[in-house]
Amino acid sequence: MLRDRIGRALPAWQPDMPGYHAVLGMQAFGLEEMGDYARAEAFGRQAIEIEPRDGWAQHAVAHVMEMQSRQREGIAWMRANPEAWTKESFLKIHNWWHLALFHYDLGETNEVLQLYDGPIYGDRSTLALNMVDASAILWRLYLRGVDVGDRWAALAANWVPKAAAGNYAFNDAHAMMAFVGAGLHAPAQTLLEAQREAMRCDDDNAAFTRDVGHPLTLALQAFGEGNYGEVVRLIRPIRSIAHRFGGSHAQRDVIDLTLIEAALRAGDGPLARVLAAERQLARPGSPLSALFSRRGADLSEN
């Protein structure tokens, strides 16, 4: 849908029409999510040439570089002209998050924390879109055993009023990350009950929650409790259908990261090694892929 609905409209557009850059940027993202990376990058770069402030096109090219493990190029791309893509942009925090992902893969956690404390969550936004990015980056650090101090508590406090909403499974999962990180049991239970109510409805979110959101949220809670075998049991069946509850490939990567870390902590060498092998194949240039492979190999030797 992301690719084809724009593709259907694109022949009606000409380069001299106002807003043409935005159509190119949307097409770039759809192509990227379908794995057509070369064309996605070309469309995105063309959009930026026309309008350097097109944050969506900037983001589409960042996605290509993320999926291809081009971390240093990604950092250069995002840092080249941040004045353009941050000015009056609703997407600016998400784009700063993409920069943090590149540093995260390289193991540059101090850079990640600086970005978190600055443009990503320095203002402690209560907008769910921004809180999702904040949860997603802190959870990645949590998986690597990084002490983030009181950052979880501040973020979780902003998620608490939304715990009972039950209106979007993707947000629920990120709220649970914050509740786990902050050690908050009561709002976590409120969230799970809201999901159970949501699954009784007949709308889109009922399906999102039933198919992916609820088992994933339970898995995140289990991870916080150190029940890594349960994490594996809950996440393995949903890996291939996780797109149903929203987000991009880059955002949903946290699901696989959680699964791999759970397998490693559970001491399940065979599973950890095959999961690491999958990631190494998909992202061969990723230092994080290499780290998972080494840790999986270490399990077989111990």
Of 174, 179, 182, 198, the residue nearest 149 (C-alpha): 182
The pLDDT score that the predictor gives to residue 299 is: 87
Residue 75 has pLDDT above 80, yes or no: yes
Of 203, 208, 174, the residue nearest 191 (C-alpha): 174
The pLDDT score that the predictor gives to residue 128 is: 97
Number of other residues whose CB lies within 10 A of the CB of residue 240: 8
The pLDDT score that the predictor gives to residue 302 is: 62
Does residue 44 belong to any structural domain of this protein?
A: yes
Q: What average pLDDT score do residues 279-296 get?
A: 94
Does residue 12 belong to any structural domain of this protein?
A: yes
Phi-psi category of residue 127: left, alpha or beta, with phi > 0 → left and psi -120 to 50 → alpha: beta
Q: Give the domain extent around 39.
A: 1-92
Does residue 151 belong to any structural domain of this protein?
A: no
DSSP annotation of 124 reads -
- Over residues 118-159, the pLDDT tens digits come to 999 999 999 999 999 999 999 999 999 999 999 999 999 999
Q: Write the CATH number for 54.
A: 1.25.40
Does residue 115 belong to any structural domain of this protein?
A: no
Does residue 142 belong to any structural domain of this protein?
A: no
DSSP annotation of 116 reads I
- Over residues 33-72, the pLDDT tens digits come to 999 999 999 999 999 999 999 999 999 999 999 999 999 9
Of 194, 197, 261, the residue nearest 228 (C-alpha): 261
Residue 228 pLDDT grade (very low, low, confident, very high; cuts 50, 70, 90) = very high
Into how many domains does the chain fold? 1
pTM of the model: 0.96
Residue 300 has pLDDT above 80, yes or no: no
Does residue 10 belong to any structural domain of this protein?
A: yes
